[in-house]
Structure 1
Amino acid sequence: MMNRRDGLTLAGALAAANAVLGSAPSRAAAPMPSAGAAPTVRTPVSFTPPAGACDCHVHVFPDPAKFPFWGGRGYTPPIATADHLLALQKAMALDRVVIVQPSVYGTDNAATLDGLRQLGPRRARGVAVIGADTTPQALDAMHAAGIRGIRVNLETGGITDPAAAARILDDAVARIQGRPWHLQVYARLPVVAALQERLSALPMPVVFDHFAGAQAAQGVDQPGFAAVLGLVRTGRAYVKISGAYRASDEAPDYPAVAPLARALVAANPERIVWGSDWPHPDSAVLAGRKPIDIAPPMPVDDGRVLNLLVDWVPDEAMRRAILVDNPARLYGF
């Protein structure tokens, strides 16, 4: 169930996906989305998150009149503002959040940076998408604004050849070398397995989002998952146990996802972080829906999703590591 997802590729990765990095993509005006992506916490949170708890994967989609979408985007989300995000944080008793640059803005990080500014440095950090024309001075400004990593989205770019993926990763490493940042990678498991040794040797942390692309129906023995577990076990990679609905269609509790989550935590609880994937944009390509048509968000109960963490990780100390300690280390809170 690999859908188009938001994120970054570097030097040539998105040439096949109409998102070339050679220069920053031009902004293109879009129809005004309706405010349909406000926080949805329909089930109360069943436990008390520890102080400093962090949601490590969200997006913001502010008014496109101020922050126009990229003309080459694959979908158009409803509005989801920093105010909506703050309401979500308060409803789930979370103190910190990581805003990840979505693909609908290409390499223009203005909307993400504005979200960071509105939420402030005590609460928010970010992950950016950069291009070949992103200067060191721009990276410095991003760091000052709270950016702590860049996203390399091989899956959306259709990059399944390990040699091509290796070249993209090498370019990404060169661009952020020496900065206290990480590489957030979205790739299918066979690509990760083919690049395990290279990923293990990188000079900065690697972060895999959404269960590292594992699919719940295939279980913990699916090809490539052992490579992810090996990178986590040795401390060379983090995994976001986020977007369970990306790994399974067994809503609302996604029971087949639990073994994946437990295997990752058992491998190394100090390398696991949690994310809601709010506001749950539906980036799927559907017949009759054009990229400029507003795609309603996926119907996810954020409170119920957070409650799943208690089942996946019954140990309170481990949950604290996942919600507080690991994000603080990774994102510099």
Structure 2
Amino acid sequence: MPQSHPTPSAAIHGGSHQPPHTVLPAGSCDCHTHVFGPTDRYPLATDRQYTPGQARLEDMLRLHDQLGIERVVIVHPSPYGSDNSCTVDALLALGERGRGVAVIDEKTSDAQLQAMHDAGVRGVRINLETDGIHDPALATRQLRWAHERVKDLGWHLQIYTNLAVFASLEPALDQLSLPVVLDHFCRAQAALGPAQAHFGSLLQRVREGQVWVKLSAPHRISSVPDCADAAAMVQALIAANPDRLLWGSDWPHPGAAPGKPRQREVVENFNPIDDGRALDRLVEWINDPVTLKKILADNPAKLYDFKTT
């Protein structure tokens, strides 16, 4: 693959980001980011799980210019609840460069859904893991409710959950007409490898084209240096179906340190992840320019309805 020109690392929110060594395919997309702040304009939900620092759109664009990323998907973060104002305003500023995934509740009107669609939202997030929802019946009800609310818009359903809960949702998946996207490897544990419980069922769904998986935030599923044990998960998913895989940085990398409880009253530091190294690692794991182009450019263009020239 062609090599990028040497460029100094960029320091953004306490993290140092080296430019990737490989020139990324045209139309490469970061399919999982968040925008936070300014807090005086976008107040946080009172029942939030954590309090993030500010990570503005201009910071993200500076990072993406450093990385060679041309498109982005902003996933509405849980501290804002179902108030999507911060995400929608960022999409309006991005124009055709950006798409979004919203969080909705029973108070979200049809008019609000249409306005979000017009701004570039193409999915709804069902945040089971962050909300601590592991009950199969409750998870299934949330999935079906979200499907009914957005099916006429043709959005996809993005689910943040673990493999065990995903397995409990499988009977409901067969009744859905919308694409299903799973965040962060569906929380598969890298140390357990592809033979772990329920990962085979996930591979089968990917193989049949029934679900999409984000190869995002491997630091959430791995505790070894450079997330080396996640390579086997990536390669198993690629072998199943490279046309159903996406990549996302998870910038600005929210999430408490392992074993550290979250405190709503304290601003939580973002994790210092090097996104340039994350892309280099992805290139190494894939080791094929055709597959890399699918995951970084072609698949996002299809799922998120990016306009092609």
Q: Give yes or no for TM over 0.5.
A: yes
What is the match of residue 279 of structure 2?
A: 306
**Residues 13, 270 of structure 2: 8 Å contact kept:** no
Q: How does 1:87-166 map to 2 (within 5 A)?
A: 87-120=62-95, 122-166=96-140
What is the match of residue 255 of structure 1?
A: 228
By how many angstroms is 1:132 displaced? 0.3
What is the match of residue 220 of structure 1?
A: 194
What is the match of residue 239 of structure 2?
A: 266
**Residues 14, 272 of structure 2: 8 Å contact kept:** no
- Does residue 81 (structure 1) correspond to residue 41 (structure 2)? The answer is no
For 2:196 and 2:65, locate their aligned partners in 1 and report how far apart those are by CA, in whole Å: 37
Alignment partner for residue 43 of structure 1, among 9, 13, 18?
Answer: 18
**Residues 200, 231 of structure 1: 8 Å contact kept:** no
2:122 aligned counterpart, secondary structure = strand
What is the match of residue 276 of structure 1?
A: 249
For 2:31 and 2:14, locate their aligned partners in 1 and report how far apart those are by CA, in whole Å: 16
**Residues 71, 97 of structure 2: 8 Å contact kept:** yes
Which amino acid in the other structure matches residue 297 of structure 1? Answer: F
Q: Which deviations, in whole Å up to 9, do the C-alpha atoms of 1:192-241 show, x marking residues without a partner?
A: 11222321431000000101110111111111111111111100110000
Q: Residues 90 and 293 from structure 1, CA distance in 2 versus in 1: closer, same or farther, beyond 3 angstroms? A: same
1:56 aligned counterpart, secondary structure = strand
Higher mean C-alpha displacement, 296-305 vs 190-199: 190-199
Q: Which deviations, in whole Å up to 9, do the C-alpha atoms of 1:126-185 show, x marking residues without a partner?
A: 000001011111100000000000001111222222222111111111111222210000
For 2:262 and 2:169, locate their aligned partners in 1 and report how far apart those are by CA, in whole Å: 36
The structure that is strand-richer by fraction is: 2
Alignment partner for residue 214 of structure 2, among 226, 230, 240?
Answer: 240
Q: Determine what percentage of the aligned residue pairs are the same residue.
A: 46
For 2:257 and 2:106, locate their aligned partners in 1 and report how far apart those are by CA, in whole Å: 27
Taking structure 1 as the reference length, the TM-score comes to: 0.85
What is the match of residue 293 of structure 2?
A: 320
Q: Residues 216 and 285 from structure 1, CA distance in 2 versus in 1: closer, same or farther, beyond 3 angstroms? A: closer
2:52 aligned counterpart, secondary structure = coil
What is the match of residue 65 of structure 1?
A: 40
1:297 aligned counterpart, secondary structure = coil
What is the match of residue 11 of structure 1?
A: none
- Does residue 331 (structure 1) correspond to residue 296 (structure 2)? The answer is no
Q: Residues 231 and 288 from structure 1, CA distance in 2 versus in 1: closer, same or farther, beyond 3 angstroms? A: closer
Q: How does 1:278-297 map to 2 (within 5 A)?
A: 278-283=251-256, 290-297=263-270
The structure that is helix-richer by fraction is: 2
Taking structure 2 as the reference length, the TM-score comes to: 0.92
2:159 aligned counterpart, secondary structure = strand
1:273 aligned counterpart, secondary structure = strand
**Residues 247, 295 of structure 2: 8 Å contact kept:** yes
Gap regions ≥5 residues in structure 2: 1-10
For 2:12 and 2:140, locate their aligned partners in 1 and report how far apart those are by CA, in whole Å: 36
**Residues 40, 88 of structure 1: 8 Å contact kept:** no
**Residues 32, 251 of structure 2: 8 Å contact kept:** yes
